[in-house]
Amino acid sequence: MKNENFENIVIGAGSGGLTVAIGLAMQGKKVALIESNHVGGDCTNVGCIPSKTLIHLAANYQPGDDIGKILEKVTQKRDDLRIKETDEVGKIDNLHLIFGQARFTGPKMIRISSDDKPAREITGKNVIIATGARPRLLDIPGLPVDRMLTNESLFDITTIPDHLAIIGAGIIAIELAFAFRKLGTKVSLIALDPRALPTYSPDVSAAIQPELDKLGIETHYNATGDSFDESTHTLTIRSAQNTYPLNDVDKVLIAIGRIRNIDNLGLDSAGVLWGKTGIIVDGFGRTNVKGVYAVGDVTPTSAFTHSANAQGRRVVQKIAFPWLPLKKSEPLVPTSVFSDPEIATVGLSQSQINKKYHSNLIKSLRVDLKSLDRGYTDDVENGFIHVDVIRLTGRILGATIVGPRASEMISFFTLAISQKISLYKLFPLVYPYPTYSSGILDIADNYLKETLQNLPLELLNFLRYRLMK
Amino acid sequence: MKNENFENIVIGAGSGGLTVAIGLAMQGKKVALIESNHVGGDCTNVGCIPSKTLIHLAANYQPGDDIGKILEKVTQKRDDLRIKETDEVGKIDNLHLIFGQARFTGPKMIRISSDDKPAREITGKNVIIATGARPRLLDIPGLPVDRMLTNESLFDITTIPDHLAIIGAGIIAIELAFAFRKLGTKVSLIALDPRALPTYSPDVSAAIQPELDKLGIETHYNATGDSFDESTHTLTIRSAQNTYPLNDVDKVLIAIGRIRNIDNLGLDSAGVLWGKTGIIVDGFGRTNVKGVYAVGDVTPTSAFTHSANAQGRRVVQKIAFPWLPLKKSEPLVPTSVFSDPEIATVGLSQSQINKKYHSNLIKSLRVDLKSLDRGYTDDVENGFIHVDVIRLTGRILGATIVGPRASEMISFFTLAISQKISLYKLFPLVYPYPTYSSGILDIADNYLKETLQNLPLELLNFLRYRLMK
């Protein structure tokens, strides 16, 4: 058995792992990158790339288009990118791509095993765990395996289901519900949650629900799939004490959450601590064991590709440029959902604000997109920009956008919040007309009017409540 | 003849005039608002509102859809908004809407004449000229009046032309070329300019041209409409010394620029100065005559609704809150073109930068959208983000975006430039994945790498060239 030393060992070649491995290799550091399946991880293979391709093609779908070709294109683009990334990673100097299962045999010692090659053991000064997560499954008695889908199998289908039951109401469930419905599939969404996107604020769910309804996506909340009868293709739904049938179900997509890939890592051999929400890390991805890092879905970070990348970049900076004066706190991580309309948020959520500040210290401002001229020309019915600020100072704490281009609009607020730019400074800006962004002016305008007209009261509230909670 | 005194007289109820009139009335100031045609001006009646409605409907058009209904909807939405705005303006306290032609008879004296009412003369402490502009016409011998369209008549058509010739290659021409082509019309674009959107940088034209080509929009540059033969429906095109026929032309849309509505205002009686580019104003819309202001298209400002609004807001602030410490310079005005892909810019253009700074002081950074994962999933072929910065300091001077959502992305740069936020500060931000905005990170990343790797040279260049030109 070989026992080779690498300066850095990265376990997992998904978004987070690739960011670290490529980043370190580019700085001349020797890196072993271990992958048990495909380079690109979830994002390239079973996540963002195929799902956004599908969402794009579904948005442009016209009745009569060949759906087989659309599905083929999704698979093809996924495969092309996987091959390209694997090829590129293989060519990077200092980067050694090793396929196999990695398992700690000591704090800095990793055993790599695979079916077709003898096991090898490697050691490293730094080990970065980026093993990601996998879909949580749900046992639905009677449901044949070939009718069950997760995001891991979904993008290999070659025919479109007539009727797709989606279990779950989170981001993956909602994005795919919109996409498949646009392709003509009957979509039934079944979730134990009381509303769509339960991790977002209720006003987000309230804006998305009518859009689901409009497209004819059937939603069953406070409910789950109870059993399946293959002879009649009936999915029995259970809601509290009641059950009722959902007929003619072809496929069942399970999207009820994700499980971090921790169990088979041998973390005990390394002494790395983890909890219910993943491997415990600080703002630089450092675990409790010096030299052992973790990034991406395997940590408690938000499960977005961009947050895994951001974590990975900070690990690279910490390892390659330890003298850099980095901010201790992690940067603001926006969220985005590619539903229709899109959803994007950044900063503190409304519930986080409620916990941290007295409600009298906060001013919530909202503009509905339908009140804007762009909303009028584009027939927008639902969607809004919501901003929470500190009274008097106008300091922005958080922003939520539901609208056709929310994912591209949110970075404006990421910048504003990061740079501590108040609503007073957003007021003199000129926003192109007619855009949804011009709603930001309405928000700043309303804030200024309300504040200036009630200045003594605003000042009083600010002074009274600013230190409460 | 009545001779009534108003505190403020606003001539023209378009975007700029309405902003001033409503803004002042809301502050309790007595305002006369004089309009010779429709409330809402160009934007509501013959500009943004109907054109963006058409663009939106064209983008969602599917073969077989009833085009008559689409055109009807464009007209209907325009009419609905016109009625609503007229009604709302009529109800605002302190605001007196007067229909008629306004003409200065003295520095602060306006004579209002109309066909159906006796003329009246009113005086005011402040007079705000917001008379806008009208399309420049082109005489094409042989072309019957009912075949000629401008943006003023276009949105009243009830049947779609089979073949639309568009004279011009500016914003209106390009936006409408895309929209009509998507509705199935054969579109031929004929312009004296050497390229599409000649007021933008050549790389913008270079990104848009293949998109025009892809849709089958025929472009004839360095050319113009020479004559029309009604018996054969042939438009003869002249290019340099050559002429050639364009067959089966149904309608000719003239979009070759705009003429400011100055001639019939009697500006001489007021002593107000104007030049080739309109009424001369300072950063607060003030003309050479104290108390006489001008805003919007009648001034040399950029011909956008949002710039007219911004000017109008500053006039309101100057008149209603003269004690406010306003910045002397006008705010940054972004531009946007609702072509497909969209175009948006803010800050200094590349040619303005070339005039102002030594080329060695400037670093130009560009990322092509097709190199981004979002470009990959959405099959983007053309489009980019271009940013010009000062070497070493990373201060952003201008940004240009060509891409599907450019009009919503540009405000990020409006904020960054206004607040003097350098590329160094855009680098640690987290941008949602996969978005076009994530290209900003690539730009910041490239800038940092290039700068840090060549720090001595960068410093030298900065010191050597920063004061040149």
pLDDT in tens, A27-43: 999 999 999 999 999 99
Per-residue pLDDT for B405 more than 80? yes
A412·B410 Cβ contact <8 A: no
Q: Kindly state the helix (H) or strand (E) to which residue A11 belongs, with its residue range.
A: strand A3-11
Per-residue pLDDT for B328 more than 90? no
Sign of the Cα pseudo-torsion (B314, B320, B321, B322, in order): positive
* Residue-range domains of chain A with CATH: 3-133+259-320 (3.50.50.60), 145-256 (3.50.50.60), 341-465 (3.30.390.30)
Bridging pattern class, strands A133-135 and A258-260: antiparallel
Q: B40 and B79 in contact (C-beta within 8 Å)?
A: no
Best interface-test mutation with A: which of B405, B408, B414 has the largest number of A CBs within 10 A?
B408
| Out of B43, B306, B408, closest to residue A436 by CB | B408
B377·A409 Cβ contact <8 A: no
Work out the minimum CA distance from A130 to partner chain B, whole angstroms.
Answer: 18
B418·A433 Cβ contact <8 A: no
A376·B81 Cβ contact <8 A: yes
Q: Helices B15-26 and B305-320 meet at what angle, rounded to 10?
A: 30
B426·A419 Cβ contact <8 A: no
Q: Is B176 exposed, middle or buried (0-12, 13-18, 19+ CB in 10 A)?
A: buried
Sign of the Cα pseudo-torsion (A354, A355, A356, A361, in order): positive
> Does residue B379 sit at the A interface (CB-CB below 8 Å)?
yes
Percent of chain A with pLDDT over 70: 99
> Does residue B453 sit at the A interface (CB-CB below 8 Å)?
no
B432·A332 Cβ contact <8 A: no
The terminus-to-terminus CA distance of chain A in angstroms comes to 59
Tens-place pLDDT, residues B156-178: 999 999 999 999 999 999 999 99
Work out the minimum CA distance from B336 to partner chain A, whole angstroms.
Answer: 6
Q: Which of B145-149, B231-235, B371-375, B461-465 is predicted least confidently?
A: B461-465
> Does residue A415 sit at the B interface (CB-CB below 8 Å)?
yes
A408·B305 Cβ contact <8 A: no
- pLDDT (0 to 100) of residue B327: 80
A436·B335 Cβ contact <8 A: no
Tens-place pLDDT, residues B75-117: 999 999 999 999 999 999 999 999 999 999 998 999 999 988 8
- pLDDT (0 to 100) of residue A107: 87
- pLDDT (0 to 100) of residue A1: 47
By C-alpha distance, the chain B residue nearest A420 is B419
> Does residue A411 sit at the B interface (CB-CB below 8 Å)?
yes
- pLDDT (0 to 100) of residue B302: 76
Contacts of B440 in chain A (CB under 8 A): 411
Average of per-residue pLDDT values in chain B: 95
| Out of B408, B428, B440, closest to residue A331 by CB | B428
Residue with tokens 């914003």: B171
- pLDDT (0 to 100) of residue B337: 98
Contacts of B376 in chain A (CB under 8 A): 49, 77, 81
Per-residue pLDDT for A2 more than 70? no
Q: B430 and B367 in contact (C-beta within 8 Å)?
A: no
| Out of B49, B374, B408, closest to residue A409 by CB | B408
Within B368-454, residue ranges assigned H as helices are 373-377, 406-418, 423-426, 438-453
Determine the residue type at A399. A
Count of CB atoms within 10 A of residue A465's CB? 17
> Which residues 120-149 on chain A approach chain B with CB closer than 8 angstroms?
none
φ and ψ at residue A361, rounded to 5 degrees: -85, -10
Q: Identify each DSSP E strand in B240-298 by its residue range.
A: 242-246, 251-254, 258-260, 274-275, 278-279, 292-294
Per-residue pLDDT for B409 more than 50? yes
Bridging pattern class, strands B251-254 and B163-167: parallel
Best interface-test mutation with B: which of A376, A408, A448 has the largest number of B CBs within 10 A?
A408
Residue with tokens 């409408």: B176
Contacts of A435 in chain B (CB under 8 A): 336, 407-408, 411
Dist. CA A115–CA A348, nearest whole Å: 47
By C-alpha distance, the chain A residue nearest B421 is A419
B428·A333 Cβ contact <8 A: no
Tens-place pLDDT, residues B339-384: 999 999 999 999 999 999 999 999 999 999 999 999 999 999 999 9
Per-residue pLDDT for A302 more than 90? no
The mean per-residue pLDDT over the stretch B175-201 comes to 97
Contacts of A452 in chain B (CB under 8 A): none
Per-residue pLDDT for B1 more than 60? no
A331·B376 Cβ contact <8 A: no
| Out of A56, A430, A432, closest to residue B331 by CB | A430
Work out the minimum CA distance from B11 to partner chain A, whole angstroms.
Answer: 22
Whole-structure pTM value:
0.96
The closest of B256, B246, B207, B218 to B366, measured between CA atoms, is B207
> Does residue B411 sit at the A interface (CB-CB below 8 Å)?
yes
The mean per-residue pLDDT over the stretch A180-195 comes to 97
Dist. CA A141–CA A216, nearest whole Å: 28
Dist. CA B409–CA B440, nearest whole Å: 10
The closest of A125, A121, A128 to A101, measured between CA atoms, is A121
Within B280-437, residue ranges assigned H as helices are 305-320, 350-356, 373-377, 406-418, 423-426
Count of CB atoms within 10 A of residue A225's CB? 25
Contacts of B429 in chain A (CB under 8 A): 331-332, 411, 414-415, 418
Return all residues near B457 (Cβ < 8 A) that are at least 6 apart. none
The mean per-residue pLDDT over the stretch A378-404 comes to 97
Work out the pLDDT band at A323, boundaries 50, 70, 90. Answer: confident
> Which residues 58-87 on chain B approach chain A with CB closer than 8 angstroms?
62-63, 77, 81
- pLDDT (0 to 100) of residue B2: 53
The mean per-residue pLDDT over the stretch A72-97 comes to 96
B433·A53 Cβ contact <8 A: no
A434·B49 Cβ contact <8 A: yes
A334·B431 Cβ contact <8 A: yes
A336·B428 Cβ contact <8 A: no
B331·A429 Cβ contact <8 A: yes
| Out of B48, B63, B335, closest to residue A434 by CB | B48
> Which residues 298-357 on chain A approach chain B with CB closer than 8 angstroms?
304-307, 309-310, 327, 331-336, 344
Q: Above 0.90 for ipTM, yes or no?
A: yes
Q: A199 and A191 in contact (C-beta within 8 Å)?
A: no
Helix (H, G, I), strand (E, B) or coil at A424: helix
| Out of B378, B408, B437, closest to residue A56 by CB | B378
| Out of A307, A379, A433, closest to residue B305 by CB | A433
Dist. CA B209–CA A117, nearest whole Å: 53
> Does residue A437 sit at the B interface (CB-CB below 8 Å)?
yes
Bridging pattern class, strands A342-347 and A362-368: unpaired
DSSP count for chain A of H helices, then E strands: 15, 24
Nearest-5° Cα angle at A106, A105 to A112: 35
Work out the minimum CA distance from B332 to partner chain A, whole angstroms.
Answer: 7
Work out the minimum CA distance from B104 to partner chain A, whole angstroms.
Answer: 31
A306·B430 Cβ contact <8 A: yes
Work out the minimum CA distance from A208 to partner chain B, whole angstroms.
Answer: 20
- pLDDT (0 to 100) of residue A121: 94
